[in-house]
Every structure is written in C-alpha cells, then in structure tokens.
Structure 1
Amino acid sequence: MKKLILPIALLFLTSVSALAQMQPFALQDVKLTGGPFKNAQDVDQRYILALNPDKLLAPYLIDAGLPVKAPRYGNWESSGLDGHIGGHYLSALAMLYASTGDAELKKRLDYMVDQLAQCQAKNGNGYVGGIPQGKVFWERIHKGDIDGSSFGLNNTWVPLYNIHKLFAGLRDAYEYAGNQQAKQVLIGLGDWFVELIKPLSDEQIQQVLRTEHGGINETFADLYILTNDKKYLETAQRISHRAILEPLLAKQDKLTGLHANTQIPKVIGFEKIAMLAGKPDWSDAATYFWQNVSQHRSVAFGGNSVREHFNPTTDFSQVLRSNQGPETCNSFNMLRLSKALFLDKSDVTYLDFYERALYNHILSSQHPEKGGFVYFTPIRPNHYRVYSQPETSMWCCVGSGIENHTKYGELIYSHSANDLFVNLFIPSTVNWADKNVKLTQRTEFPYKNESDLVIETTKPQEFSLNIRYPKWAENLVVLVNGKAQAVADAPAGYVAVARKWRAGDKVTVRFNTSTRLEQLPDGSNWSAFVHGPIVLAAKTSTADLTGLFADDSRMGHETKGKLYPLTDAYALVGEPATYLSRLKPADRLRFRLDSLTLQPFYEVHDARYQLYFQTFSNAAFAEQRARLKQQEATALALEAITVDKVNCGEQQPEVDHQYKGEKSDSGYDDEQFWRRTRSFISYQLQNKNGAGKSIAIKALDDIKLDNVRFLINDKPAAILSSDGKTVRLRADGQPVISLTITASPGLSTPRFHQVRLVTN
C-alpha cells in the first residue's frame, strides 16, 4: 500500500480486502439526478403505473374464494403461473417508492398488501397464493404425493417459484416501504409453509426441490432476520437444494445443461444462510458458482445461457446461432448475488461484473422511450429483441424487469463505520445520515470520463472518501478543490482521500478509457468491442422485426423474424493488430467501422444489431467462411420447413407447448437435452394454416415401436417411417395438434430429444 502525506489530505490506493465491513445505503438515501439510469427509472415507473393492481390480485382472490374486482391478466397470468407478477409488483412498488418517494406507489402497495391480507384471513391457515387449484395442490404435497420434474410439480407449473415471488414481495414491502401489515402476512405465510413440509422427509423435500423454486431458501433466511426465530433458519437450510449445493462445495462444475435461472437464486440463498448460520463453506460454494458463471459462462454484456440453459464453457456456438440468447432474469439474479458477495467480502471484483451487467444488459433490457422489457438478448449477428407490453405480456422477465429499474441506487455508494465509498459513476446524491453528510455526484459518464463529487456537511469532520479505481480506467487523476493529488498507478481498488471535510469541498475524478476486443469465453474467433465498461454494437437493419412489441401469445417473448445467415455478418479479416485500428472515433461513444457505426449497446433499440464479430486471418477466411456457410445453409433450410418444434427436456419450450406427463424425467447427455417416461408425456403443437404435414420425432436411443405408442389428437398416429432414432408421423391438419407418447406397461420410452412439425 502506497501512502503520500499531502498538505490537505492523505491519499492512497488500497485493496478493499483490508477494509472494514461494507454496508449498503438504503434506497431512500440515494437519488438519481439524471442520465440514462434516471430515464430508465422514469420509464419503468410509467409501465408500473400502467398495470392494474386489481387484475394482478385476481388470482389470489379467486383462490381464496373472494369476489374479484377485475378479471385477471392473460398470458402467463392465466396459463398456470397465475399470481407470479403480483409478487414482483409488490417488490417493484416498494423499491421504487423508496427510490422516489412517490405517494401513488405507496398507495398501491398498501392496497395490494391489504387485499392479500384479506385473502389470507379468508383461507384461515396462513396461506395466500394465486396458484390454480392451490389448496388441492398443496394438500397433495403435504401428504407426500410428489411427482416432480424441472418445471412441473404434480403437473403444476413451478408452484414454489411462483409463491417465492410473493414471499419476496412481502419482504420487500416491509423492508423498503415499512409496511407492517406485509410483515404479518409474510410471517403467517412462512408459518403455513413450515407446517406444510413438516411431515415430509428430507428425501421428499429434495424431490420437491427438483422443480424450479426460485430463492425460497433465501426468504426463509430473511424471516429469521425479521423474527430471530430459529425455525425459519432451520427451514432455510432444509429447503436448500443439495443436488446443486454439494458439487459447489466440492468445487465441481456440474452446471452445463442446467436451467440457468433456476440455479442462481438458490445460490443467493446459500450465501445468506452462510452468513447467518456460520457456514463459510456455503459462502465458498457461492463464490465458486459466481466465478464460474461470471468468468466462464457470461458474454460481454454480462448475460449467460442459451435457450435458458447453461451451455458448455468450451462451446458458445449455440449461443451465437440461437434467437434465444441470455435471459434477463439471469442477470437480475447475478446482480443480486454479486451485491451480496461484495458486501460480504469487500472485493471490487464483484463490482466489476456488477457494473458490466448493469450498464450493458439490465439498462439495455428496457425500451428507453416506449417502455417494455426484454426476455432474450440474442448475440446472433443481425438479430433483434422483443419488448413486452403492459396488457399483453406477463413473462418472468417482465416480473424481474419491473424490479430492475427501481433500484439503481442500491450500490452506487456504500459505507463502513467511518468511510464513504463511491462505487459507480452515476449522477446522483447520497445522504449519509449517520455523519450528517450529503454527497452530490455530477457526471456525464460514460460519455465524458469525469465526475465531480461535492460535499455538504453542517460542520467540518474527518473521514475517508474512497473512489473506486476500476480496472478498465487508465491514468486516473484526482483533484481536491482543484489541486491534483498523487495516485498510484495500479487500478482495481479504491483511491482513498482522507481529510477533514468542509461544506463545498469538491473532488474531481478524471480518467481515460480505451477500446479493446473481448473474445467469447470458449476462445473461439468471435469478439466484441468494449470501451471502458461499455459494450459497443452496430445497428444493421430495421427489416422484418416481426413481433417487436409482443402480443399476448404464449411464446410472444420470442422473436419470429427471419434468421439472417451468419455468413452475412460483418467480419474482421487480416492481422489482429489491425482490428482495433479500423475504428474511427466519432461523437458520444460512437465509432465508425467501415459502413457500420458502433455505439453503446444500451442505446441500440428497434433494430437488428451486431454485437459479436468473427475474426479471421487472410489465409483462414475463405476456408472457414465456406464451412460456416454450408452449416448455415443446412440449418436454415430445416428451419424454413419447420412449422413448430419442441426441444424435449428444455423448460421453456416444453412449457410453451403445454407439456404434461407422469413418471417422467429429463436430462442432458452429450450436449443434448432429453425427456423420457414410464407412463406418458404430451405436447401441443401449433399447426399454423394447417401447413404441417408430418411430425419428425428424434431420440438419443433407438425407437422400438413395440415399446412405445404415439397418439395424435387422441387417435393412434399413422407412422410414415421409422429409422433407428427417428420416427415420422402423419400430421392430421388440425390447427392444434396434441401429441401423446406412452410407454408400454413396465417399460420406459427412449430419451426423446426433439419433436418437429414440418411442411413435407
């Protein structure tokens, strides 16, 4: 640690590992004052106020047998996940009220909580929920009648995930907005759940936890914090998923193929339980998970997953090809985990990732003018994103989306007992009530590499103002009241300015940033341009943006527009040293790259875009492009004749196709998902305009027709052909085709990989 004694200050660079315990500021203490984050907060508020609380409450009232005041929303709120947005809405209202003080938000929040309390009172046992036929469902679980898979528990769509949103929403209503009634409803709901699972063995609980359940272990840890009742902490540990925890404890990467967002909330719970129960190995497990996902599974903007699942760390090719890129919910939860680990371990490495994902994924996931939230962010060149609408779209990424933009003030600043930390360069104010100090940050970052920090205090007092020196910053300069200070050269720590501060003191921070190329984690020849912490992308076209703003269809969150061949994308050809030199700076973080203009990805909307660029040497260009072109031609030709398809064993495709089944399991082998059954499985295929003529079913094992039956709309299917691992059935021309696959008594079906309805 280098120290330099100055006439007015003690200024040095320090690693945060040596610092006292870091504490966050309450959202009430931090106010955004301008810039893209303040705009995003304002746009989100309009979206939140456009939602009807009575429609969101309807599933809860229906389940409690109370009269509804408005019909429930459609989309996911009427197709099995009824009530999940209501929980997110509580969180969003509470955090946005804390961030803004807007009375209408508090009014809505109090109303929602009161209505939920009435539902709870009517139920009479502490339960409140919007899950369809909830009372029947939970009674089966209480009796140990459990048939679970990754997203279906007793043929109910992720019920614990659903109710976790209510647990979290009630917690947030109390924590951020001080609603005492929310605390009482939360405790009642927690007590009901403790009694619900009391008869279950640990093995049965782990069977339940096979189905996506959000961060329900974390909310029981929160109940322990609120009440100091150990039964909640014991429950939190009991409902922690051992199949995920144990490999992490052993530092084993078993994540490939798993549904990504199912796992991240569990790990947030592991970290919180570690702090409360004195389990440092659980915290180590959370750290291992974070390092694996953030460093080896995340693309340049901080997101991860393809078609909602973790892809192999050594192969990002499917992420590049798919129209279903990283899911916004994943980054929502990775930010929560990063924040928890930063506050626990005081390590700026977590801030580096937090900042990257905040600017480039979270900020980009909301339309900056019209509002609307993004589910998938493809990195496929020349593709685009779809935005939600308040009346049509009730996806999980709408629920996390309305929360994302309410809490930007959560980590701009932090503090220890005696020191203040500036973590992010965002225009804002922070009120440090314990010291009676207010700090105002004036900055236009990332468009200008400078920030002014102005102190307000009623009396002179001593403390250290610690300014993060990011690893991407170059030649950082600190001035105190216009006088330059000496700063050590090494970034990735804090510059600490220790002095007796007086009202009006101003600290100016200046630095340089440069552009670099970042490869995908698999080391393939695809790279993104990153300037400082900002990922750059180019708008490439506004053609064929089908479904840009989503309708209310079950799969409205997916793009429907044409996939452009990867070989049509701009490529960097030549010596690697020339790639960056081709960029010609323009204005406000814009760069010319031949006919393209690169700009911050969070500014790119209503257009197809290119974020990743393939790099070639001159010698390799022709050969590799030819091979890629052939692969693309084959894949696009198949997509051209596809009317509908199901990727068996993948959560969202199966939910989108109304999967049902009994005695069924799923898995991931040889980089392929599958599902099999000892009873039956069924899907519904959409046969638009009756164009589908046949159904091709592929398996990972040989399909023996004596051991499996296929039904189409409840009638035996006509088998057109059977060839080892593929069988082709005749489609019946109906607009909706119900496909049922049953196993012969006492046998299991093969592992089915894909069902594809095609035009030939």
Structure 2
Amino acid sequence: MKTTLSHIALLLSLSLTALGQMQPFTLQEVRLTGGPFKQAQDVDLTYILALNPDKLLAPYLIDAGLPLKAQRYGNWESVGLDGHIGGHYLSALAMMYASTGEPELKKRLDYMVAELARCQAQNGNGYVGGIPQGKVFWERIHKGDIDGSGFGLNNTWVPLYNIHKLFAGLRDAYEYAGNQQAKQVLVGLGDWFIELLKPLSDEQVQQILRTEHGGINETFADLYILTRDKKYLETAQRLSHRALLNPLLEKQDKLTGLHANTQIPKVIGYEKIARLTGRADWSEAATYFWQNVSQTRSVAFGGNSVREHFNPTTDFSQLLRSNQGPETCNSFNMLRLSKALFLDKNDVSFLDFYERTLYNHILSSQHPEKGGFVYFTPIRPNHYRVYSQPETSMWCCVGSGLENHTKYGELIYSHSAKDLFVNLFVPSTLDWKATGLKLTQRTGFPYQNASELLLETTKPQEFALNIRYPKWAESLEVLVNGKVQAISGKPAGYVAISRKWKSGDKVMVRFKTATRLEQLPDGSNWSAFVHGPIVLAAKTSTADLKGLFADDSRMGHETKGKLIPLTNAYALVGEPASYLTQLKPMGRLRFRLDTLTLQPFYEVHDARYQMYFQTFTPAAFAEQQARLKQQETEALALEAITVDKVNCGEQQPEVDHAYQGEKSDSGYDDEQFWRRTRRYFSYQLQNKELAGKTILIVALDDIQPDNVTFSIDDAPAEVIAREGKTIRLKVRDKKVVTLTISAQNGKPTPRINQIRVLTH
C-alpha cells in the first residue's frame, strides 16, 4: 500500500498542470458492497483462481530452458501467442488483490513474479518472455531482419503485443500490489528492449510497429514515471506509431478498415506521453481519436468494430449482418483511454461514455453465474455470444476479461486536492485516509433512481461534494439531511454541495430517467431502446446455441449456430411517435413489446437476442422487407454451402488459418480487405467431414495466370474454372489442406479478398 501511494505521489509531482486537478482513488480505498458489479467481481475471482499459475508460466520456462512444473495451456497459449495470458494474469491478480484483499491472490502474484525473475536470471540479459523461439526471433530483429504485416512479424504472431502484456503485468504487480521484485524484473526487461532497438533506425522501428504491438509505448512511459530516467520516455516516443499518430495530429479520419484493437492502445500511450512531455498536440490527437470512435463508430452498448476492424462511419450494415460484432478488448481499451482523458481534461463527457460501456458491454461480457468471457458481441438480430472456459479458452478477450471485472472501483469516485467527486452510482464504500473521510454509497441503481451517501469523518471539515449530473438524467434532486438543496448543475456536469461536513451527514440523490430510441451512427433505420444509460434487449430464442461454451479449437470464440434471416427480426412499424408508446413497463427495467420482453442487455445470457430494431412507416415496410429478403437469401445461400472461409487481410481470420508469407502486404479498398504478395502467402483450410469439393478464390483484380500460381499441399492446384476476378480449384480429400498463393515473373499477385471451401 505504501508503494502504491508513493507511486501516485510521484505522478502528481511530475506536473500538476499537465496531469490536471482530478485524481483517482486507489483500488484499495474503494470496496464494492453489492449489485451486479460486485457479483461480476466475485464470479471473476472464481475464474481467476481456477487458472493454474504453473501452466501460465510454462512458456516462460520453456524459453529460458528451465524444467516445467506443469504443461502449458492449449488453445492460443500453444499456437503462437504463448505467454500472453500470463501477463494479463499478473494484472488481474494485482488489481483483484487491491480491490478485495484476498490473500491467495497476493500469494499467487508473488510466486509468479519470483518465477519470472528466475527465468530472467537464467536468460542473463534482462530478457524474459514466452514467445515461441523468442531468442532466435529477437536476434533477427536486433540485426535488422524485419518482415512485418498487421499481425505477423517474421511469421511470428504479434510478438510485441505479446510481450507488452508482460510489461503491463509487471507494472501492475508493482503499482497495485507493491511487489518490489516486479519493478526489478520490469526495469531489466525495459533495459533489454532498449538495447535490442539500439542498432535499428527510426524507419526500422516504425516498420516493426506496423505489426500489432499493444500499448508498448505506454509501458515505457510508465517506466519513466517509476524511475525518472529519460531514456524510457525517449523510447516511449520512439515506439509511438507515426502512421496512426500523424493523421490524428491533422484531425484526419483514416481509421476505416484498420484493426481496431491495434490502434486504441497506441492512443492511450500518446495521451500518457503528452501528459509527461507537455505535448498538447498529442493529447488533442488522442481526444480526436476518442471522439471519433466513441461518437461515430460505437454502437449503443459502447462497443465498436465488425470482425475486429473499424467499419465505415456511414454504413453499419456489415455490423448488422455479421456474427462477429464488437470485440470486448476494444472496449477494455476504450475505457482505459476514457479514464485517462477524464482525469486529464476534467470533462464529464468521458464519464458518460465510460458508464455506458461499463454497464452494457463490459458487464455483459462475463457470464453472471458460470463465469466465462465473451469475444464478439453481435448486434445481428437473433444471434448470440460464446463464453470462454478456464481450461479451453486462451483468447485475447480472456486476458482482458480477467482484468475487466477486477477494477470496477477505479472511477466510482475521484478527488481534487480537497474536494470529492461521486462519478457513478454503485453500491460501495470509500476510505479516503488522507483526509480522514469515509463514505458509504447505498443504491439500487439502475433499478432504482436514487442513491444515498453516508459520511463519516474524524473531524468536521469543509469541502465540496460534487455529484455527477448524468447526461441521461431527466432531472436531478439532492437532499442533505432531509433538506432539498438549491443546485445549479446541469446534465453532463456536476452538482456541487459545499459545506462543513460532519459524521452522520446523509445525502440523498434522486433523478428521473426515461426510455429513448437511439439510432445507429450511420443514420440508418436501426435503433436500440436505451433507458437512462442502460441498453435494453429481448431474449428471442434458445435454439441452436452451438458452441455456447467454447471448446479448445482455434476458432472456438466464434458462434457456430445458424444465422437467422434479418427479415425474421422484430420491426417497429408505424409513425415514429408510436415506437416508444408501444413499450409497456413491467417493473425492474423490464418492458413488454408485443410478444417480446425487453430487459437490461447485461442480464441477457444463454439465449439469442435482439438489441437493434428496424423502424418503418407502414408504406416503407413492405418495400424494404422485399429488398432485404433478396439480399439475405443470396448471402445465406452462400453461407449454407461454405465449409470454411478466410477473409484475407483481416487479422483474426488469417491467424485462425495459420497464415504464413513473405513479401506480402494487406490493405482495405472500397470497403473490402485484401492481401497480395511479391513472393508467397498461405493458409491452412479446414475441410470438415471432407464435405468440401472446391475452393473459390475472389480477388479485387483480374486473376492473370502469368502473375500468380496456386498450390495445395505443395502440389499444383487443379483449376476447375477461371473467370475475371474469381477462380475455382479442386480440394484434396483431407481434413486440413494448405493453400499457397505465389507471385510469378516478379509481379505482385492480385489483391485476394476472400477464400471459401465450398460443398460444390
């Protein structure tokens, strides 16, 4: 605890002006006492304790050449991203320990840090990591041998992203749990990384940063905060990706098509570096990014992206059709960015988005009884989500999911030098030891529109109690010891009550909420019902929930159940004024809508659901349904004969199909992704039950035989048909086949958009 407080004091001393007046409380100072967030925290604690530290440490021991104490986990921990969950686990242990004081968490944390220190000592140069063949890989980078793409660096799966998780985990072990050894390992790892980069030019570093690298720039800024050694701050700036930063500095939106969770952590780093260097333009760039993503690219529950990529701001139709909706990792990082900007700017609008995303995406992304974390949250009507399991699932959203539910206390309250701010209505206690103030918040929100604040203080003291007036509140009333207060605040601000407070003072906050329809940002006729900050949805079916709890397959995080035609979705037909009047309140945030029951989305589990509803005037309904039915019929017919598919140029589909390649690049043109090469690239395609008969390859350019060849399992592929931008190949009778696309005559291949294994 002493370490944590001194760390915060150091942050404050760096520059009060740059950091702003608003400060967070430590997780140790806030305790959850009830409600859905406390339940989620408890469920997460059980999941955390179900994991085996020795299995998570195995990749690090393997790379250090030390004997294993347990075999490593499977899934993503054994196919290239080995060790990434271990870094997240350090963070989760540290923050959950800070939030609960559970001794077993500290015991596990100290054990893991000691084992990592042992690996670092064995390596002898400061390095510690779980990346497969890590020493060989890093030596190639040190020598300037760099061949990178969006997720592959020298055919290694996002190695900087992977090691960033360890950097962050060690930082959190020190910052939240006071583990001094974690700081020593972190500094050693940072020094090794700086030496690794020394021979490289800035251009080579930027080439490395083309590959997803998490918030590696942020963690070097953290190293500067911990040590005050400028070399770390200089490295943080060197590790800031200019291809994203420069357009943001110019307030240019170049985000469409980019892999969303690759970008958000970079921006968190820009904001932290801005605070430490006084670079106002970098902070403005971070704010511009946040505004763009939160206001024009996010759906009602706060999530963003389709199939992990930013979709066009003017067209959310892909998001409505896809079974791969917003990724939970995106919201994990958008909350981190929102928190940083709120503390820096003292702007409540950041809290409005933070609260919306916290309740509706983060809280909904964990199964409330069984545990398990969600990767994709589709907004496609009548679809569902998949939950992880401790022994089978090691996805990125499991790593961030472990952390998500450990830190709900981080922004319920904040403070300035002497004033207190109540930001969220969550049952909890605050122990502000520096001032001798204790506060207990009792509330049934969001089911009740009131919150009671009880104050205890060692002596009467004068300060302002600032209560957030949410943007969604229709009105707000404050009573102190039963007396109504005259307030001057307005929505999206604070109501300040200044007086000399004494023990036993009681503050009652009451507010009114209403239900409204919120359109998708593209202005289309799809809308969600939102009550206050709570997104409502309806359970529609429990049929065909295939893969509801994930197995250990590479793509276990994706739903396997059939897609229900969009024309089957419930629609709101009538004049616009009638849409809301169709809702009939049933109590506890439940509303009857014809045959459906709307309820908070975070309560909807183990079922298909509908969150977005099309709205029509009677005249438009028939015409639109006919057009939509034709589109759906064609799309579902193709899906019905598809055994496997790869969306080329998209990160996760390529990872899931074991992409390999040299001199290959990818891009996004005319709202379509692609990959091409001057040498080769390959995928492993699944032919389940040998049902596939042909491979359909679709390109964005004509497929010229002189410029490209296709082989299957290292043998020339048999061409069935070739026409313009498509080619069909015969599939071999094997459950897994490797398709290789190679360039010829020194010319690049066409831009390949999609590959499907078809039944005929």
TM-score normalised by the chain length of structure 2: 0.97
SS in 1 for 2:543: coil
The separation in 2 between residues aligned to 1:661 and 1:475, in whole angstroms, is 59
1:533 and 2:524 aligned: no
* Alignment-derived partner of residue 296 in structure 2: 296
Q: Which amino acid aligns with 1:643?
A: V
Deviation per residue, 1:215-242 (Å, 9 max, x gap): 0000000000000000000000001000
* Alignment-derived partner of residue 549 in structure 1: 549
* Alignment-derived partner of residue 188 in structure 1: 188
Q: How does 1:191-340 map to 2 (within 5 A)?
A: 191-340=191-340
Q: How does 1:616-627 map to 2 (within 5 A)?
A: 616-627=616-627
Query: Is the CA contact 2:706–2:745 (under 8 Å) kept in the aligned structure 1?
Result: no
Deviation per residue, 1:249-298 (Å, 9 max, x gap): 00000000000000000000000000101110000000000000000000
Q: Which amino acid aligns with 1:273?
A: I
Query: Is the CA contact 2:120–2:128 (under 8 Å) kept in the aligned structure 1?
Result: yes
The separation in 2 between residues aligned to 1:326 and 1:116, in whole angstroms, is 34
Deviation per residue, 1:300-341 (Å, 9 max, x gap): 000000000000000000000000000000000000000000
Q: Which amino acid aligns with 1:524?
A: S
* Alignment-derived partner of residue 494 in structure 2: 494
* Alignment-derived partner of residue 759 in structure 1: 759
The separation in 1 between residues aligned to 2:209 and 2:458, in whole angstroms, is 54
* Alignment-derived partner of residue 662 in structure 1: 662
Q: Which amino acid aligns with 2:87?
A: G
Query: Is the CA contact 2:20–2:344 (under 8 Å) kept in the aligned structure 1?
Result: no
Distance change >3 Å, CA 223–CA 489, structure 1 → 2? closer
The separation in 2 between residues aligned to 1:141 and 1:77, in whole angstroms, is 23
* Alignment-derived partner of residue 504 in structure 1: 504
SS in 1 for 2:147: coil
Report % sequence identity: 83
Query: Is the CA contact 1:475–1:489 (under 8 Å) kept in the aligned structure 2?
Result: no
The separation in 1 between residues aligned to 2:413 and 2:55, in whole angstroms, is 37
Deviation per residue, 1:414-447 (Å, 9 max, x gap): 0000100000000000111111000000000000
SS in 2 for 1:705: coil
The separation in 2 between residues aligned to 1:228 and 1:20, in whole angstroms, is 20
Query: Is the CA contact 2:478–2:484 (under 8 Å) kept in the aligned structure 1?
Result: yes
Query: Is the CA contact 2:91–2:169 (under 8 Å) kept in the aligned structure 1?
Result: yes
Query: Is the CA contact 2:489–2:495 (under 8 Å) kept in the aligned structure 1?
Result: no
* Alignment-derived partner of residue 4 in structure 1: none
Distance change >3 Å, CA 640–CA 480, structure 1 → 2? same
SS in 1 for 2:62: helix
SS in 1 for 2:546: coil
* Alignment-derived partner of residue 110 in structure 2: 110
SS in 1 for 2:550: coil
1:466 and 2:466 aligned: yes
Following TM superposition, by how much is the alpha carbon of 1:489 offset from its aligned partner in structure 2, in angstroms? 6.6
The separation in 2 between residues aligned to 1:489 and 1:627, in whole angstroms, is 49
Q: Which amino acid aligns with 1:221?
A: A
* Alignment-derived partner of residue 396 in structure 1: 396
The separation in 2 between residues aligned to 1:746 and 1:677, in whole angstroms, is 10
* Alignment-derived partner of residue 157 in structure 1: 157
Deviation per residue, 1:57-78 (Å, 9 max, x gap): 0000000000010000000000
1:428 and 2:425 aligned: no
Q: How does 1:172-187 map to 2 (within 5 A)?
A: 172-187=172-187
Structure 1 runs of 4+ aligned residues shifted over 6 Å read: none
Distance change >3 Å, CA 729–CA 20, structure 1 → 2? closer
Q: Which amino acid aligns with 1:162?
A: N
Q: Which amino acid aligns with 2:665?
A: D
* Alignment-derived partner of residue 89 in structure 1: 89
Q: How does 1:557-636 map to 2 (within 5 A)?
A: 557-636=557-636
Following TM superposition, by how much is the alpha carbon of 1:487 offset from its aligned partner in structure 2, in angstroms? 2.4
The separation in 1 between residues aligned to 2:419 and 2:538, in whole angstroms, is 42
The separation in 2 between residues aligned to 1:304 and 1:20, in whole angstroms, is 29
Following TM superposition, by how much is the alpha carbon of 1:490 offset from its aligned partner in structure 2, in angstroms? 2.6
The separation in 2 between residues aligned to 1:283 and 1:20, in whole angstroms, is 12
Q: Can you give the 5+ residue segments of structure 1 that lack an aligned partner in the other structure?
A: 1-16
SS in 2 for 1:129: coil
Deviation per residue, 1:458-488 (Å, 9 max, x gap): 1111111000000111221100000111223
Q: Which amino acid aligns with 1:693?
A: K
* Alignment-derived partner of residue 6 in structure 1: none
Measured on the aligned residues, the alpha-carbon RMSD in Å equals: 0.9
The separation in 2 between residues aligned to 1:461 and 1:659, in whole angstroms, is 63
Query: Is the CA contact 1:20–1:417 (under 8 Å) kept in the aligned structure 2?
Result: no
Deviation per residue, 1:169-191 (Å, 9 max, x gap): 00000000000000000000000
* Alignment-derived partner of residue 8 in structure 1: none
The separation in 2 between residues aligned to 1:147 and 1:474, in whole angstroms, is 55
Following TM superposition, by how much is the alpha carbon of 1:707 offset from its aligned partner in structure 2, in angstroms? 1.6
Q: How does 1:690-701 map to 2 (within 5 A)?
A: 690-701=690-701
TM-score normalised by the chain length of structure 1: 0.97
Following TM superposition, by how much is the alpha carbon of 1:630 offset from its aligned partner in structure 2, in angstroms? 0.4
The separation in 1 between residues aligned to 2:340 and 2:717, in whole angstroms, is 53
Query: Is the CA contact 1:305–1:319 (under 8 Å) kept in the aligned structure 2?
Result: yes
Query: Is the CA contact 1:33–1:427 (under 8 Å) kept in the aligned structure 2?
Result: yes
**Higher mean Cα deviation, 481-490 or 508-517?**
481-490
1:80 and 2:80 aligned: yes
* Alignment-derived partner of residue 482 in structure 1: 482
* Alignment-derived partner of residue 444 in structure 1: 444
SS in 1 for 2:577: helix
Deviation per residue, 1:382-436 (Å, 9 max, x gap): 0000000000000000000000000000000000001000000000001111110
Query: Is the CA contact 2:489–2:496 (under 8 Å) kept in the aligned structure 1?
Result: no
* Alignment-derived partner of residue 55 in structure 1: 55
The separation in 2 between residues aligned to 1:582 and 1:518, in whole angstroms, is 16
The separation in 1 between residues aligned to 2:309 and 2:618, in whole angstroms, is 35
Q: Which amino acid aligns with 2:82?
A: D
The separation in 2 between residues aligned to 1:236 and 1:486, in whole angstroms, is 48
The separation in 1 between residues aligned to 2:482 and 2:148, in whole angstroms, is 65
Q: Can you give the 5+ residue segments of structure 2 that lack an aligned partner in the other structure?
A: 1-16
Q: Which amino acid aligns with 2:150?
A: S
Following TM superposition, by how much is the alpha carbon of 1:745 offset from its aligned partner in structure 2, in angstroms? 3.7
* Alignment-derived partner of residue 672 in structure 2: 672
SS in 2 for 1:530: strand
Q: Which amino acid aligns with 2:76?
A: W
Following TM superposition, by how much is the alpha carbon of 1:372 offset from its aligned partner in structure 2, in angstroms? 0.1
* Alignment-derived partner of residue 5 in structure 1: none
